[in-house]
Amino acid sequence: MRDPSDSYDGNDHRKVWEILPWYVNGTLEAHEYEFVARHILSCQSCAGEVSRCESIATAVRSSEEAKRTPSPEHFARLMERIDRGSASAAPERWRIRVREWIEKIRLAFQETPSLFRWALAAETAAIGLLAATIAWQASVAPSLLYQTLSDAGSSPEPSRVHLQVVFADDITEREIRKLLSSIGATIVAGPSPMAVYTVALRADGREAPAQTQERLELLRAHPKVRLAEAKQP
Amino acid sequence: MHAGANETTAGQLVHGKAPMPPSVSEDDLNLIRRVVGRDRQAFETLYHRYSPVVYRYLWKLIRQREVVEEALNDVMMVVWETAARFNGTSRLSTWILGIAHNKALKARARSARFDAEVREAAPDGVEPSSPEDAWAHRELASSMARAIDSLPPEQAAVVELTFYQDLSYAEIAKIVGCPVNTVKTRMLHARRRLASLFGGERKHHD
């Protein structure tokens, strides 16, 4: 129970009360930790709650689930699934990527203050409306769109095929240059924190999947290439 | 880390642990880099390091052995396939548990039998002890564990991630995909529910 003689501020008490579990597990920021430690010296109620949280922690750690482990053959089954090939997993990878993007947008939206959130929603709606209008104009009245003389006969630049490559730690810059040059590729991004480079194959307008595969195999055959795969669009 | 010897002493008086900054260890970073490079041995090491933690977490949320094993398989498959996307801004366990949380929710949604089976597995009720000795009693832990198992999954997840995985509320928010205030609220509801079962009196705080 709360001791009525305590002289702490009720608001502080509430703040401390809600973060006590993370005081017990030792993950509070330093300033929060000090805040809680100081408060509970003069608050019997919170000190009691610390003990209760510790009881919960003890119960969680000693529960039967702590002894549960995956069956011994589980890892072998997992490796079999990996060996069955990544081709069947391609749609799954695509879905994961979309889900990740949606999740990122959702989290960013949640963390935005509500006033800005509404402004952002209004802006997004306006942009959507604009895009829909442009699309409608393009489909219904193409002649209304502005055209220049140079538009005639122009064709889009052939899209370039991108690959993801991870090199061995001991590869030299010269070796990378020589290797990429031999397959007509250039680095366009990387290395990522996971040491992944994105390379683009030289566009000549007639890159066929078989040619891409051939260049991938050349990369994979190199002793200092640890991973080479086509980048998903 | 927290500052000052005085504060440390104050904290120790009531058993709190000093804070540990969450960051990915060099060892884990090297491991995941090798997994990105399709190093099977590294993947096996990663599997043995994290599968018990992931398995336990999935079990807390799913509670059907076959479904849990399938979900663990899916989680580790995603780790293998998307290791290059781990950006090193959180602990590796946080990233993997985030994947596990999503898989668990999907598995739960797929399993129409889930709710009925959990209701069968959950205790009919926890024998409440008297308020005076409930929290001090030796047998409390097992009764408490059963009570925790009867929590709604979103509360059970926060309790598990806090007290078993020792994660901060910010890391938990990342894993379960909700704001930190929601994590705190779920924990408050869980604590309130456990307190009501074990005779704690604290309604003026909630």
Compute the C-alpha angle B17/B22/B26, nearest 5°: 125
To the nearest whole Å, the CA of B112 is away from the closest chain A CA by 23
pLDDT band per the 50, 70, 90 thresholds, residue A2: very low
Compute the C-alpha angle A70/A76/A82, nearest 5°: 115
Beta bridge partners of A165: A197, A228
pLDDT of B116 > 90? The answer is no
- b/e sequence B86-117, b meaning 16+ C-beta within 10 Å: bebebbbbbbbbbbbbbbbbebbeebeebeee
Q: Residues, chain A, total? A: 233
Q: Tell me the mean pLDDT in the region A138-155.
A: 51
Position A193 scores a pLDDT of 77
Comparing CB atoms, the residue among B16, B44, B178 nearest residue A36 is B16
Nearest to B43 by CA among A57, A2, A204, A75: A75
Of chain B, the end-to-end C-alpha distance in Å amounts to 29
Q: What tokens appear for A17 in the block?
A: 């009360």
To the nearest whole Å, the CA of A221 is away from the closest chain B CA by 14
Interface of B with A in 40-79 (CB under 8 A): 40, 44, 47-48, 51-52, 55-56, 59-60, 69, 72-73, 76-78
Question: Which residues of chain A does B159 touch, with a Cβ-Cβ cutoff of 8 Å?
Answer: 56, 60
Interface of B with A in 130-159 (CB under 8 A): 135, 140-142, 144-145, 148-149, 159
Position B158 scores a pLDDT of 95
Are the CB atoms for B10 and A37 separated by under 8 Å? yes
pLDDT of A176 > 70? The answer is yes
Question: Which residues of chain B does A33 touch, with a Cβ-Cβ cutoff of 8 Å?
Answer: 2, 7, 11, 16, 18-19
Question: Which residues of chain A does B56 touch, with a Cβ-Cβ cutoff of 8 Å?
Answer: 65-66, 68
| pTM, two decimal places | 0.59
d(CA A94, CA A86): 12
Are the CB atoms for B181 and A16 separated by under 8 Å? no
Q: What tokens appear for B198 in the block?
A: 């074990």
Q: DSSP state, B104?
A: H
